[in-house]
Amino acid sequence: MADGMGPPEEHTFRRFENGKSMWNWPDLSGKIFQADRSYKCPSYVHRAPPCQGGCPSGHDIRGWLAIARGMDKPPVAGMAWQEYAFQRMMDANPFPSMMGRVCPAPCEDGCNRNEVDDFVGINGVEQYVGDWAFEHKLAAPAAGPDTGKRVAVIGGGPAGLAAAYFLRRNGHAVTLFEAYGKLGGMMRFGIPGYRAPRERLDAEIGRILDLGVEVKLNTKVGRDISLDELEANYDAIFWGIGAQQGRGLPVPGWGAENCLTGIEFLDVFNQGHVFSTAKRIVVVGGGDTSIDVASVARRLGHITHQAHHDQRETQTLGYTAHDVAGVLRREGVQAVLTSLFPMEQMTAAEREREDAVREGIDIKGGVMPLEILRDQSGRAVAIKMCQCTMKGATPVPVEGTEFHIACDMVISAIGQMADLAEGLERLGNGKAALAIDAVYRVRGTQKHFAGGDVVRPHLLTTAVGHARIAAETITHFLEGHPQDKRPKVDVHHFNLLEELHARNLDPEPYDHRQQRGTSSANFAVHNYEDRSATQIIPHGALFKGHFAHTPRNERADRPVSATAIIGDFNERIVGFTEEQAKAEGKRCISCGLCFECDNCLIYCPQKAIDRVPKKERAVGRYVTTDYTKCVGCHICNDVCPTGYIQMGLGE
């Protein structure tokens, strides 16, 4: 790598060193003519790609990228590819427009294309398809046949909404209880609108409600309805209440009236209130939430004039309603963001860090708070810091490096926890969270299940993944055959039988009479093995020399300077065009599944491999092998770019 940070300068596809071979024969012809001693012939083994294995929601990413590239055609005549991709996305995540914007994309970190040039722009394609669905007013897939079962979903954030969605698709009646007056949870009250546009969020929530979800707003369990009532009236209960309480700084002086948590700050701001008249704000954190807090602070600006009618009776720290903020005279906030880790090691996404710096946020990495300094009235006026090193996750102060940062407000964005008060204590694990087993059932209970931040604060897409798995578990429970374990690679997998069924290519019924081999039988999907639930295919199993260096399409960014940031709440990311989305689909190297490159046909010296007849063709069923011609030379395996061909028994 040129600078240690960019993509590789050269291909890394070489399987053998110069002068070395996996065979001892002197030349290739010897291998070909003598290899008929081998009993191994090509078989087709489906394995999960690393993007999919790394996606917390379990997206079939390879599947909808194949649709974008035009390889996987819609099974219905006249259907746009975007609609087909949208349907595939909705199998795992009902928020493609939102997650395409806010997910930090661990799928891209694990993309095998990184070993060729640069990762595939997965988030950009997801956002494009999600926005296309919004613009064309696409509905969610229909609810399943009524099962007669009733499920209560507690919490209207990403976990609760996703659980309601998957449960309705499984045919269960769902009642969703939400303590706030609006649905969305952290997507609405924890992420600023310039990162998560509200009209698109409302549309994606609306699709879920249109499936027939009953909603009870301003209803808090423990206050407005008891746990006993829920257990008496519902067959199962899913808890997706999130982690709504921020963690304060564990230093002397915390608790001053102008000290608050990042969750409190973003919650009040996103409910429509300008929260602060502070001119100097210090945010202690380092993750994405701390970036959001500091960015919002910069956008709000310092209000130098307050109108009396804007002041709230419950006087805390700020008073001004967001809907009149635009008419107030503002000056720039001096926002300082501190992190225990150096800037390059912060957990916040690199893009977010860069945007923050450009917008005028002063990021100080490798420092830790020691004390909140107060004035005579008890208000925080400065925060005492020092440089630190990290021993694992524990900061170690560096003596003699203490310094002060003057401030009018301190915001702690170091973590969050669930609120399990008011009758919910018996469900908790003693650590302000719900303890679950391997199938997302709350430990020690029969009909309680949970997911999202109430289990472990993490990404929004993680909450969606929890909900999908919990909904499957609840369905098995309600059907009378509960599960106690899940697949090793627990994501939404490509299913060849479903693909064949969608194209009316189902295998013939099996008469269960024993016979030799299946190569000429129509009752079997011959020589195919699905290992996707247990194996993720590594880049070393691919023939990466097939792929040319192709620059990644990047979403444009609407840069906002430090001087122009005040009051700017417009979206920053500019989404892909259709051409860009298709181009990124073509950059996908389809790890673990055939993408119809013809290499095996071209290089087979015995002409033992041929295409499946076009009318019988489907994704994963593109080539067939004549095992009377195959001599087991392994060449098809060597030149398969995706690692789909493995050598095994032929008949």
What's the pLDDT tens digit per position in 106-143? 888 888 998 899 999 999 999 999 999 999 999 999 99
Polymer length in residues for the chain: 651
The SS3 of residue 492 is: coil
Residue 449 CB neighbour total at 10 angstroms: 28
pLDDT for 303? 42
Q: What is the 3-state secondary structure (H, E, C) of 534-586?
A: CCECCHHHCCHHHCCCCCCCCCEECCCCCCCCCCCCCCCEECCCHHHHHHHHH
Average pLDDT, the chain: 83
What's the pLDDT tens digit per position in 438-491? 999 998 888 999 999 898 888 889 899 999 999 999 999 999 999 889 998 899
Stretch 241-270: mean pLDDT: 85
Percent of the chain having pLDDT more than 90?
Answer: 48
pLDDT for 26? 52
pLDDT for 186? 86
Of 3 and 640, which is predicted with more confidence? 640
Which of 24-33, 76-85, 505-514 comes out lowest in average pLDDT? 24-33
pLDDT for 313? 30
Distance CA 174, CA 214 (A): 6
User: What is the band of 506 on the pLDDT scale with cuts at 50, 70, 90?
Assistant: confident
CATH number of the 150-244+418-478 domain: 3.50.50.60
Of 2 and 631, which is predicted with more confidence? 631
pLDDT for 331? 39
pLDDT for 583? 97
DSSP code of residue 244: -
What's the pLDDT tens digit per position in 19-37? 555 555 455 555 555 554 5
pLDDT for 262? 82
User: What is the band of 330 on the pLDDT scale with cuts at 50, 70, 90?
Assistant: very low
User: What is the band of 318 on the pLDDT scale with cuts at 50, 70, 90?
Assistant: very low
Stretch 60-77: mean pLDDT: 94
Which of 58-72, 154-168, 322-336, 410-424 comes out lowest in average pLDDT? 322-336
- The amino acid sitting at 514 is Q
Please tell me if the domain spanning 150-244+418-478 has the same topology as the one spanning 246-417. yes
Contact between 222 and 421 under an 8 Å Cβ cutoff? The reply is yes
Contact between 372 and 362 under an 8 Å Cβ cutoff? The reply is no
Helix axes 122-135, 61-69, angle to 10 degrees: 70
Distance CA 194, CA 191 (A): 8
Asked if pLDDT for residue 245 goes beyond 90, the answer is: no
In which element (H, E) is residue 374 found? strand 367-374
Which of 200-209, 211-220, 602-611 comes out lowest in average pLDDT? 602-611
Residue that has been written with the tokens 């994501």 in this structure: 491
pLDDT for 295? 61
At the top level of CATH, the class of 246-417 is alpha beta
Stretch 2-24: mean pLDDT: 52
Which of 147-151, 291-295, 336-340, 465-469 comes out lowest in average pLDDT? 291-295
Residue 197 sits at φ, ψ, to 5 deg, of: -55, 130
Distance CA 345, CA 358 (A): 18
pLDDT for 311? 29
Distance CA 136, CA 582 (A): 18
Q: What is the domain partition of the chain in residue ranges?
A: 28-137+493-649, 150-244+418-478, 246-417
Distance CA 173, CA 212 (A): 8
